[in-house]
Structure 1
């Protein structure tokens, strides 16, 4: 039985992956905001304890992953309860079109879409190393330009735009793969984005126009989440060590800048200084 940890596992593609791996008989740790959605997921998956074991194949951890305190708590709980992690899927999402500070004083999108992922990947590194064929799937769409990170002001207190914030997060998550695979050459680290629209609940604080447009286009042209995640399932089931990027089933080119190693070192120093 594998152990699959999924952030954002109660909605959209994260939920579809959780259902798949519960049906496959794996132990699935779902991290999300809403226990009621998790209970609905269990009902849909028909999840029960294995008949010949006391192990429960499904576990829910409630958390707000834009909270550093919650992230730390969850990482420690996962470490305490699991000696091995075969797959870590980073799929939590909450779209914010405007800059917003958390109660801890941090820019919420930067924390959710990058800092939380950094803390999960580094905090669970030894649990991933304990697996035979470990993989991290980071649902950060690959392909942002090499200079997308504002190292002087990653919280974008000046000049915040949704486009700049999104590009910065995506680039940082590509670079995170350098750090992760340097620590474990057997690790597969994949930045992955869907090849088109996906029918999801589109959680976030966005204008009505964007929500309506997403709902209409998703209904007309979007893939069901269970269909959209099939490429991720293939990657998890047959992981290839090293960094990779995909849009759907198609490999994407990893952006390689002149200062990639220096840039991930700067990011690591920044996180260790500001968020530990």
Structure 2
């Protein structure tokens, strides 16, 4: 039996992955912000006869202190961690710059900083597994740049662009992690699921007309969760040999793209460490 942790595991892709591996017989730790959705997940686990292998931990992952609490709780309760999957996100587009109580821009805290803290914070317990994997669901394979002078978009905030910027930050997170993880045992995978038919995508859209248009678009080009997670499951069960890889659905993304620049990755790592101090 393997042990895996899934952030954002009470909804959409995360829940689909968590449920699949519960059915397979693994232990699954799900992290989510809603206790109600957490209870629903545990109830579904009971119906599957998997209640002893299902764990829900409530946390606001936009806060660094909450990520650190989760790391300590996982280390205290489990001796080994085989897989970590990052799916936690917020689909709502914020029109104005807003900060968490810790002073970080909200999307920066949730979409990037949480994944940074968990990646490095869980390294020790992951390295106790035979074949540890971190899979980061973001959007590799897309063009774009990271503004290293304003990584939280404070001076030029545009809500519609912030999420794309977050994915570029995660591109560099993967590169930096693979470089800084000297043991090299953990396989870090960046994964772009493309368009997926999840309820959260539509719930975040306030304009009724735009919501209907998006539903029509996703119905045409989007995949249901059950189909979208198939290549993720394949990668988790048979990870690539290289320490870092990136995929857009089943197509491997070239790490020669400028979005994976090693110098920028190290600069971002240094800036992030300074911010966390």
TM-score over 0.5 (shorter chain): yes
Q: Contact 2:141–2:247 at 8 Å: present in 1 too? A: no
What CA distance in whole angstroms lies between the structure 1 residues aligned with 2:154 and 2:135? 30
Instruction: Note closer, same or farther for the CA distance 1:151–1:134 as it changes in structure 2 (3 Å cut).
Output: same
- Equivalent residue in structure 1 for 2:157, among 156, 160, 172: 160
Q: TM-score, normalised by structure 1?
A: 0.88
Q: Contact 2:141–2:192 at 8 Å: present in 1 too? A: no
- Listed as ranges, the matches of 1:1-276 within 5 Å are 1-45=1-45, 46-48=47-49, 56-95=52-91, 96-98=93-95, 99-145=97-143, 148-182=145-179, 183=181, 184-202=183-201, 206-208=205-207, 209-241=209-241, 242-257=243-258, 260-276=261-277
Instruction: Note closer, same or farther for the CA distance 1:238–1:108 as it changes in structure 2 (3 Å cut).
Output: same
Q: Which stretches of structure 1, 4 residues or longer, exceed 4 Å deviation after superposition?
A: 203-206
| Greater percentage in helix | 2
Q: Contact 2:62–2:109 at 8 Å: present in 1 too? A: yes
Q: Contact 2:30–2:57 at 8 Å: present in 1 too? A: yes
Q: CA deviation at 1:259?
A: 8.7
Question: Root-mean-square deviation (CA), in Å?
Answer: 2.3
Q: Secondary structure at the match of 2:190?
A: strand
Corresponding residue number in structure 2 for 1:53: none
Q: CA deviation at 1:255?
A: 4.5
Q: Contact 1:145–1:167 at 8 Å: present in 2 too? A: no
Q: Secondary structure at the match of 2:200?
A: coil
What CA distance in whole angstroms lies between the structure 1 residues aligned with 2:35 and 2:24? 22
Q: Contact 1:180–1:187 at 8 Å: present in 2 too? A: no
Q: Does 218-227 or 128-137 show the bigger shift?
A: 218-227
Q: Does 205-214 or 62-71 show the bigger shift?
A: 205-214
What CA distance in whole angstroms lies between the structure 2 residues aligned with 1:32 and 1:199? 16
What CA distance in whole angstroms lies between the structure 2 residues aligned with 1:221 and 1:181? 33
Instruction: Note closer, same or farther for the CA distance 1:167–1:202 as it changes in structure 2 (3 Å cut).
Output: closer
Q: CA deviation at 1:13?
A: 0.5
What CA distance in whole angstroms lies between the structure 1 residues aligned with 2:269 and 2:250? 30
Question: Please, which runs of 5 or more residues in structure 1 have no aligned partner?
Answer: 51-55
What CA distance in whole angstroms lies between the structure 2 residues aligned with 1:131 and 1:204? 38
What CA distance in whole angstroms lies between the structure 2 residues aligned with 1:275 and 1:239? 31
Q: CA deviation at 1:118?
A: 0.4
Question: Please, which runs of 5 or more residues in structure 2 have no aligned partner?
Answer: none
Q: Secondary structure at the match of 1:157?
A: coil
Number of corresponding residues: 270
What CA distance in whole angstroms lies between the structure 2 residues aligned with 1:262 and 1:111? 23
Q: CA deviation at 1:125?
A: 0.8
What CA distance in whole angstroms lies between the structure 2 residues aligned with 1:259 and 1:252? 10
